[in-house]
A = this chain, B = another copy of it.
Amino acid sequence: MAAIDAMDQTRQAISFAHLEALLEAVFLKAGAAAGVARILAENCAGCERDGALSHGIFRIPGYLGSMKSGWVDPAATPVVEQAGDSFIRVDAANGFAQPAVAAATALVIEKARQNGAAVLAVRNSHHFSALWPDVEPFARQGLLALSMVNSFPCAVAFGAHEPVFGTNPVAFAAPCDGADPIVADLATSAIANGDVQIAAREGKALPPDHGVDRHGQPTTDPKAVLDGGALLTFGGYKGAAISMMIELFCAALTGGKFSFEVDWSAHPGAETPHTGQLIIVIDPDAGRPSSHFAMRARQFVDRLEAAGASRLPGERRYRNRRQSIEKGILIRNTDLRRLQQLAGGAAAAKTRP
Residue numbers of A with Cβ under 8 A of B are 81-87, 89, 114-119, 144, 146, 156-164, 170, 172, 174, 182, 184, 186, 234-242, 244-245, 247-249, 251-253, 255, 258, 260, 280, 282-284, 286-288, 292-293, 296-297, 299-300, 303-304, 306-311, 313
Contact = CB atoms under 8 A, between A and B. Distances in A.
Nearest to A310: B159
B310 A160 contact: yes
Contacts of A247: 300
How many subunits of this chain does the assembly comprise? 2
Nearest to A156: B307
B85 A115 contact: yes
Chain A interface main SS type: mixed
Nearest to A89: B287
A158 B300 contact: no
B241 A186 contact: yes
B87 A287 contact: yes
B182 A297 contact: no
Contacts of A253: 144, 282, 284, 293
B87 A286 contact: yes
Contacts of A159: 308-311
Nearest to A289: B255
Contacts of A89: 286-287
A222 B27 CA distance: 57
